[in-house]
Amino acid sequence: MVPDLPALVDEIATTMQAMEDRGQVASYIPELAKVDPAQFGIAIATADGRLLVGGDADTGFSIQSISKVFALTLALGKVGDQLWDRVGREPSGNAFNSIVQLEQEQGIPRNPFINAGAIVVSDVNLGGHQPRVAIGEMLRFVRYLAGDDAIAINEEVAASETATGFRNMALANYMRAFGNVRHPVDLVLGSYFHQCAIEMNCRQLALAGRYLMLDGRHPDGGRVVSPGRARRINALMLTCGHYDASGDFAFRVGIPGKSGVGGGILAIVPGRASIAVWSPGLNENGNSQLGTQALELLARRTGWSVFSPPDAR
């Protein structure tokens, strides 16, 4: 099936812009609570080099937990499979910021996409440096992936989360007690909060995700990660990318995706497309309400799914 993608992107943007029930904007980070929920953007970067955009695809938003995909990629580059001694690879079945499981599992977070796991990944990426070094590295990496040097950190969002991120401080301190956070907690969280505060628009995010649809290759020909590593990152996005609604997202959409509380979702159709959707209102599981619906519609109309035979997509 070869869908008329430009027409479909327009249709999805128009449909989503007309929706009345848009979910609730995240309020636990005060700066995010100020974002107007009446926005929706979509961008699709295809394996054959096209970029299709619709709605508010050029409006920047806080990528929040989507940054965990890029941070994981960097950490695997630094320590390889040793990372898995400190972070698991199982869906958590708990809220993204849950502390309960950590006690039962002796400070080893379930996966790198819940907050506790991402904080360990930030600890790895710090590697004995000051946060500004790690943050600079992350920013350079994301700019390289997207081919866009305009990508920047929203300092107000970072400051807002630094001032109110008490749960994350608890998670980090708790893991430090188990020896699974090795740098001072304020440095690790400084790095983590800034990484989450990277601002991108749908266009930039879809471009940044291309290596995951291209088996680890950057479209300029360079290799970002090995094919095996790209597949594993996609596997983690599918199984753990939507907090405790990851199973539901796999059921409804059927492709790897990582969401953030800023309302963005990065979704990957291996060999086909890197997709970014954004709408700030979240559903009860903390995932973008319209973003999820848009991806569901896109997957249904294109037949894109990691569960269908390649010729059906």
CB nearer ligand GLU, residue 8 or residue 200: 200
Indicate which residue of 35, 53, 67, 68 is catalytic: 68
Which x/- pattern, by CB under 6 A, does the window 104-123 give for ligand GLU? Answer: -----------x--------
Alpha carbons within 13 angstroms on the beta-carbon side of residue 55 total: 27
Kindly state the smallest distance separating residue 113's Cβ from ligand GLU, in Å.
8
Indicate whether 240 belongs to the interface with ligand GLU (CB under 6 A).
no
Question: The tokens 């301190």 sit on which residue?
Answer: 173
Query: How many C-beta neighbours within 10 Å does residue 252 have?
Result: 15
List 192, 258, 259, 274, catalytic entry:
192
Whether residue 68 lies in the annotated active site = yes
287 touches ligand GLU by CB under 6 A? no
Nearer to ligand GLU, 37 or 303 (CB): 37
Q: Where are the beta strands (DSSP E) in 72-222?
A: 152-153, 198-200
**Residue 261 is a catalytic residue:** yes
Between 84 and 103, how does the x/- string for binding to ligand GLU read (CB under 6 A)? ------------xx------
Q: Binding of ligand GLU at residue 280 (CB under 6 A)?
A: no
Is 192 an annotated catalytic residue?
yes
């990318």: which residue's tokens? 241
28 labelled catalytic: no
Nearer to ligand GLU, 96 or 211 (CB): 96
For residue 104, what are the contacts with CB-CB under 8 A and spacing of at least 6? none
CB 289 within 8 A of CB 270: no
What span, in angstroms and rounded, lies between the C-alpha atoms of 49 and 214? 11
Q: Which of 25, 67, 121, 243 is catalytic?
A: 243
| CA gap 28, 22 in Å, rounded | 18
Q: Nearest CA to 55 among 38, 35, 68?
A: 38
Q: How far is the CB of 196 from ligand GLU (least distance, A)?
A: 4
Is 5 in contact with 46 (CB distance < 8 Å)?
A: yes
Per CB under 6 A, the list member of 9, 40, 65, 76 interacting with ligand GLU is: 65
E strand residue ranges, 130-279? 152-153, 198-200, 257-259, 264-269, 273-278
Q: 3-state DSSP call for residue 281?
A: strand
Q: Mask: binding to ligand GLU, 256-275, rule CB under 6 A, as x and -?
A: ----xx--------------
Binding mask 148-167 for ligand GLU (x = CB under 6 A): -------------x------
Is the dihedral angle over the CA atoms 212, 239, 21, 7 positive or is it negative?
positive
180 binds ligand GLU (CB under 6 A): no
CA-wise closest residue to 244 among 84, 69, 113, 100? 113
Near ligand GLU by CB under 6 A: residue from 64, 73, 201, 289:
64
Task: Give yes or no: 65 in active site.
Answer: yes
Task: Closer to ligand GLU by CB, 151 or 214: give it.
Answer: 151
In the complex, what is the shortest distance from the CB of residue 21 to ligand GLU, in angstroms, rounded to a whole number?
A: 21
Q: How far apart, in whole angstroms, are the C-alpha atoms of residue 33 and residue 180?
A: 32
Residue nearest to ligand GLU (CB): 65
Relative to beta strand 257-259, strand 51-55 is: unpaired
- What's the token pair of residue 51? 């970029």
Q: Note the residues at the interface with ligand GLU (CB under 6 A).
A: 64-65, 96-97, 115, 161, 168, 196, 260-261
Q: Give catalytic residue positions.
A: 65, 68, 192, 243, 261
